[in-house]
Amino acid sequence: MGRNYKIGVIKGDGIGPEIVDEAVKVLDALSANMGFNLEYKEMLLGGAAIDETGVPLPQETIQGAKQCDAVLFGAIGGPKWDNLERHLRPESGLLGIRKEMGTFANLRPAIVYDELVNASTLKPNVVKGVDIMVVRELTGGIYFGQPRELLEDRAYNTMIYTKEEVIRIAKVAFEIAMKRDKRICSVDKANVLEVSQLWRETVEEVAKDYPEVELTHMYVDNAAMQLIREPKQFDVILTGNIFGDILSDAASMLSGSIGLLPSASTGLGVGIYEPIHGSAPDIAGQGIANPLATISSASMMLRYALGENEAADKIDEAIKKSLAKGYRTGDLSAYDAVEICSCSEIGDIIANYVCR
């Protein structure tokens, strides 16, 4: 009997279906060759779910996702649903499923491929060799804090972290650092915010269990600057929800295109694997989206959720090879392109390479 895995597939909106189809194409090519079997279960989330069921996160999706070994997700959202009330918008479906699945840890690698050093807006000598893992707390902080309210003449949100929440995300970061260069930079705003003071003290406590890991602290404003000034100083960045949201997008641009970077949201149960970008409504349906971030997310899924490291390595190598050969989607067309490819052509190329 081969290894059998149940994969939840959430295509979502905009370019979501296009990019997820390419990742599934690559996974199918791999599983056929590597002795494991993937059973897919498609589920609705975001705008597609609103259109079909009236809500952005149907109960069926929550239940279905919890029964899978991992969830592969595209992206949600778009102008069609922008005028709905906040709790009915696609984005609240995404926040909701993360909370439901207990995916409190968002892992976002920011890697600069040697083949694309010219694609970055920064100088090649600044970005060449960048390999950062941003570990972002995903289910707490100001995005979820209560009370929150929008009144006529004022509005407020609450930034809150419990010690327990900080301990569990810090542990994830230290475990990852142990498998990398053993350096963590914890990012906060402890000079201004009490919640950051607790964050810093707690991370220091967790660090005592990992004496091999070098821990430093940085204020978020400085971290934003340092990411642009000298990104190679970072190995693992550990930070809260809102700071991580902003810093990981900034880090993503080191690589040249938001269409390249994957993420994993893991934690208490089934993990969600998704590109860091949104649904790109401006290019949806044109077949020009870059599927590499989603294909790379499928690689993270194989590695972190299924333990299929060899298969994950094959995807990572295939991506590098296709970039080295000069195959590019439009977002990267200006950088050493030999051939401009559609979204599905890139999927074909990677699927072909992983079989070799």
In the set 13, 188, 235, 245, the catalytic residue is 245
**According to the binding rule CB under 6 A, does residue 247 interact with ligand NAD?**
no
> Min. distance of Cβ 75 from ligand NAD in angstroms?
4
- The verdict on 17 binding ligand NAD (CB under 6 A) reads no
From the list 52-60, 71-79, 154-162, 237-245, the region that binds ligand NAD by CB under 6 A is 71-79
Spatial separation of the C-alpha atoms in residues 164 and 170, rounded to whole Å = 10
* Residue 155: Cβ within 10 Å count: 9
Which residue is associated with the tokens 């990572």?
316
100 lines the binding site for ligand NAD (CB under 6 A): no
Measured distance CA(210)–CA(171) in Å, rounded:
9
77 binds ligand NAD (CB under 6 A): yes
Q: How many CA atoms lie within 13 A of 103 on its CB side?
A: 24
Crossing angle of the two packed helices 90-101 and 59-66, in degrees rounded to 10 = 40
Q: Is 72 in the site for ligand NAD (CB under 6 A)?
A: no
Q: Please tell me whether residue 259 binds ligand NAD under the rule CB under 6 A.
A: yes
The answer for residues whose C-beta is within 8 angstroms of residue 90's C-beta and 6 or more apart is: 12, 13, 45, 46, 47, 49, 50, 56, 76, 77, 78, 81
- Tokens 């559609």 correspond to 342
- Stretch 286-305 residues interacting with ligand NAD (CB under 6 A): 289-290, 293
Quick check: 65 binds ligand NAD (CB under 6 A)? no
- Which residues ranging from 113 to 142 are in contact with ligand NAD (CB under 6 A)? none
* Catalytic entry in 21, 131, 181, 249: 249
Note whether 331 binds ligand NAD by CB under 6 A: yes
Residue 26's SS3 state is helix
Is the CB of residue 9 less than 8 Å from the CB of residue 41?
yes
Which one among 8, 58, 64, 78 touches ligand NAD, defined by CB under 6 A?
Answer: 78
Q: Which tokens is 299 given?
A: 């690689």
List 76, 177, 187, 261, residue binding ligand NAD (CB under 6 A): 76
Binding site residues, ligand NAD, CB under 6 A: 15, 19, 75-78, 91, 94, 258-259, 274, 277-283, 289-290, 293, 331
Report, as residue numbers or ranges, the catalytic residues.
143, 189, 221, 245, 249
